[in-house]
Amino acid sequence: MDILEVKNLEVILKKNNKEIIKNISFSIGKNSCVGILGESGSGKSVTCKSILNILNDNFRVNGEIIFNGKNLIDCTEKEMKNIRGKQICMILQNPMTSFDPLFTIQNQMVETFLEHLDISSKEALDLAKESLEKMRMKEIDAVLKKYPHELSGGMLQRVMIAIAIALKPKLIIADEPTTAIDSLNQKDIIEEFKILKNEIAVSILFVTHDLGILSYLADKLIVMQNGKIVESGTTAEIINNHNHEHTNFLIETRRTLMKKFKEVADWTLNEGENKIYE
């Protein structure tokens, strides 16, 4: 059974009637991960914002976004407030801008839980600690007392995922969550998403331009270009039996990049060994 079904979605810029998203359709099953792959400007983020009904008045949205039997496009702001955060969580690409710099991590986590859950302040604090433990964070009491600028991008991203874990949403939308963090933290963050999917039984819509991430994490792939879905299927189908030239371009670009990376890594290693024996 699908947790989300997007049908004939169109997003139009009102001032010039330009189609930003052009009649796209896809679905996400329970406890599955669907990846949206595409370059900057392909429409990935606009699609995510449409699902959460957070596009501003400059846009007109047509079609259907069915979540739990409701068309989110027709929901009032009050109805959407009951859905955002609690039933659908969004994890953004730049965690530093997602937190208020004037308040500690503890304050922001506790306030979020009090807003969405029927619990006391003490229970909210306990939940904050418990969710950070699940993210395998160390020195949790110290982390809770820190302000956002005192934590790295990777740690802030873990805090965002910890909040999502605690709220137990049915769907997590991750909009390029590894873009602003270093490669070592990227690997750890991807592992956390894998744990989310496998152990907490949450559905994930993962948006990125990185095919390597999606090949590891996603069950199905959607390839977007210029606001359209140009190809979709299982991850294995898209990687091994793709048909569209843009999909081929993205895959070959990834392979070329990895080949070049391996060449540089091998050269660096060999140079290091040569210096040892000089």
pLDDT range class, residue 275, cuts 50, 70, 90 = very low
Percent of the chain with pLDDT over 90: 47
- What residues form DSSP beta bridges with 202? none
Residues 238, 221: Cα–Cα separation, whole Å: 7
Reported as a single tens digit per residue, the pLDDT across 261-271 is 455 545 444 55
pLDDT of residue 259: 62
Q: How confident is the model over 23-46, as a mean pLDDT? A: 91
Instruction: Transcribe 214-274 into DSSP letters.
Output: HHHH-SEEEEEETTEEEEEEEHHHHHHH---HHHHHHHHHHHHHHHHHHHHHHHHHHHHHH
Residues 268, 40: Cα–Cα separation, whole Å: 31
Reported as a single tens digit per residue, the pLDDT across 134-144 is 877 889 999 99
pLDDT of residue 111: 94
Residue 173: closest CA among 204, 144, 194: 204
Q: How confident is the model over 51-66, as a mean pLDDT? A: 93
Reported as a single tens digit per residue, the pLDDT across 214-232 is 888 899 999 999 999 999 9
